Structure formats: C-alpha cells, structure tokens
Amino acid sequence: MAILIDNAHWPRWDRMWCHLVSDTSLDELHAFARELGIPERGFGGDHYDLPEEHRERAIELGALEVSSQEIVRRLKAARLRKRVKHQP
C-alpha cells in the first residue's frame, strides 16, 4: 500500500501541479490529502491535483516519488484508474 506522487510538471493557474494517488484505496488517498490540508475539491476521480508547494510535505509524510507513467500503471493494476474529463 502506497501513496504516490509524480513531478510537478502540469501548468495551470500560474502554478505547477503534480498528482497524488493511492495504489490501494481511495479512502487511503482521502485520508492522506486531509492530513496535508488539501481540500476535496482537488480530487479528480482517482487522484488529487497537488500544487508544487505541497509536494515536499507530501514526501515527508511518506508519499513515494514516481513517474507519471508509473502512477497510471499502478492505478490500472489496482483497478482504481478513472478517466475524468478535465475542465479547460
């Protein structure tokens, strides 16, 4: 069971963003996000969009750094992957 985080390389709203996921359960992911102080509005169906300034704290709390490709692979393997249409 792991919380995973990728690099912050997604630009939006004048910030860089990364993805925070669980390869175990959405309950685990929501609990971790609450611990970080990330509001549930940042949840995108199978991940949280996390601003770059919160990334180091997530890693301090135990999130494992992986590639974006690894995040997708692990979500699919755990059957947690959801396709979400992002707003422009």
- Residue 17: Cβ within 10 Å count: 20
The pLDDT score that the predictor gives to residue 84 is 57
Nearest to 72 by CA among 1, 2, 4: 4
32, exposed or middle or buried, with CB in 10 Å at 0-12, 13-18, 19+? buried
pLDDT of residue 32: 97
- CA-to-CA distance for 57 and 35, rounded, in angstroms? 10
Distance CA 88, CA 79 (A): 27
pLDDT of residue 1: 64
User: pLDDT confidence of 82, banded at 50, 70, 90?
Assistant: confident
Tens digit of pLDDT for each residue in 1-56?
699 999 999 898 899 999 999 999 999 999 999 999 999 998 988 999 999 999 99
